[in-house]
Amino acid sequence: MQFTHNTLPEPIRIQSVDLLNKHLAAAIDLQAQLKQAHWNVRGPGFMAIHELFDTVATEVAEIADQMAERAGGLGGTAFGTVQVAAKRSFLIPYPLGVAGVAEHVFAVSASLAAFSQAAREAIVISTAYGDADTADLFTEVSRGIDRQLWFVESHAVPHATPAAVTVAA
């Protein structure tokens, strides 16, 4: 750890930096998955999905930056190389060879949902450590990723469930 005047006790800062680095690796992986989808999507609605994936990738890059800067601000080191991300990401690997819009929307949605779920878990963990600011960052991350998930899933073909089906009177 680097010297800092940050008043959080060092044991809390160490735990938070570790948690942030875990999610930084996944954020870098998620951004790369989005670029993979952006570069390879084909089919009806191509341009809208192509641009959407690029926009979401930019949002995820901003999230990665915030996590890395928080780790640095706590006196830690952000481990943000591609090699580290490849070793430490908790996301499932993105399916290569996918081309269709529906397949990419499904794969991207699954990765966004997994990342958001992990951010919600990190809220609880960092709160338990006693680091409210890192918990707040993860709250922003969760909210932002859920919003991006909504945008992506809005391009999926809706599936009617029995409870969602209504009968006209």
> Considering the entire predicted model, what is its pTM?
0.91
Q: Per-domain residue ranges for the chain? A: 10-153
Fold classification of 10-153 is Ferritin (1.20.1260)
User: Residue type at 142?
Assistant: S
Over residues 162-166, mean pLDDT: 53
| Cβ burial 113-149 (10 Å sphere, 16+ → b, else e) | ebbbebbbebbebbeebebeebbebbbebbebbbebb
Q: What is the pLDDT of residue 133?
A: 98
Mean pLDDT in residue range 27-45: 96
- Dump pLDDT digits (tens) for 58-106: 999 999 999 999 999 999 999 999 999 999 999 999 999 888 999 999 9
**Per-residue pLDDT band at 143 (split at 50, 70, 90):** very high
